[in-house]
């Protein structure tokens, strides 16, 4: 199982489904990670939005360093992802606490996380404080096409989560609307 560099256009495949994500930052020599599900694509060119604010410890690092990796954990990592979301990086080293293996990124300082289905190295394009929205651009994608569990997790907002179930293929119906290369 290993994460390999993948065509950047494919980042959309991991953002469009509305995944639970582990978002890493690195500031002052300290890596941190938050669990978040408030993201959405903005175009087919790697731009996407993320909503967060000062109530998240990672917010300060994200605003200052303008970099993060958006890592997509499989369903088998859900309990760890939930625990990551239950504590603050202000109080602990989450990588050590949860036994996460950091993988060095190539375009940013914040690390990727081993065991994820995919990690999207990303840079902040702008922050819109009136809406609490960061606009980001994917700068590099690594993904594991052989991951034993590729079920993306979806948070429901009430402490329950679902994993991807049945898959449906409607490429024929919407072929004219698909972005090139996907």
Q: Which residue ranges make up the site for its own copies (CB under 8 A)?
A: 12-13, 15-19, 37-43, 49, 51, 75, 78-79, 82-83, 85-86, 126, 128, 130-133, 135, 151-152, 154-179, 182
Q: Which is nearer to its own copies, 12 or 22 (CB)?
A: 12
Give the Cα separation of 69 and 141 in Å (integer).
9
- 148: phi then psi, degrees, rounded to nearest 5: -65, -25
CB 71 within 8 A of CB 23: yes
Give the Cα separation of 111 and 101 in Å (integer).
9
Q: Which is nearer to its own copies, 120 or 155 (CB)?
A: 155
Count Cβ atoms below 10 Å from residue 9 Cβ, excluding itself. Answer: 16
CB 147 within 8 A of CB 182: no
Q: Which is nearer to its own copies, 3 or 155 (CB)?
A: 155
Give the Cα separation of 121 and 108 in Å (integer).
7
CB of 54 to its own copies, least distance (A): 13
Q: Which is nearer to its own copies, 100 or 103 (CB)?
A: 100
CB of 45 to its own copies, least distance (A): 12
Q: Which is nearer to its own copies, 92 or 178 (CB)?
A: 178
Give the Cα separation of 73 and 36 in Å (integer).
11
CB of 24 to its own copies, least distance (A): 19
CB of 97 to its own copies, least distance (A): 14
CB of 93 to its own copies, least distance (A): 19
């Amino acid at each position: 199982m290993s994460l390999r560099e993948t065509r950047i256009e494919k980042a959309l495949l991991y953002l469009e489904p509305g995944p639970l994500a582990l978002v890493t930052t690195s500031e002052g020599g300290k890596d941190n990670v938050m669990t978040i599900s408030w993201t959405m694509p903005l175009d087919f060119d790697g731009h996407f939005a993320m909503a967060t604010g000062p109530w998240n410890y990672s917010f300060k690092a994200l605003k200052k360093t303008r970099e993060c990796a958006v890592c997509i954990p499989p369903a088998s990592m859900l309990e760890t992802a939930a625990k990551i979301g239950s504590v603050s990086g202000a109080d602990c080293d989450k990588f050590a606490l949860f036994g996460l293996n950091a993988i060095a990124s190539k375009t940013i300082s914040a690390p990727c996380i081993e065991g994820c289905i995919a990690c999207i190295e990303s840079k902040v394009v702008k922050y819109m404080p009136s809406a609490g929205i960061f606009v980001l651009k994917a700068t590099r994608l690594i993904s594991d096409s052989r991951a034993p569990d590729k079920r993306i997790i979806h948070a429901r907002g009430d402490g329950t989560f679902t994993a991807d179930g049945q898959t449906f293929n409607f490429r024929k119906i919407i072929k004219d609307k698909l972005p090139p290369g996907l």
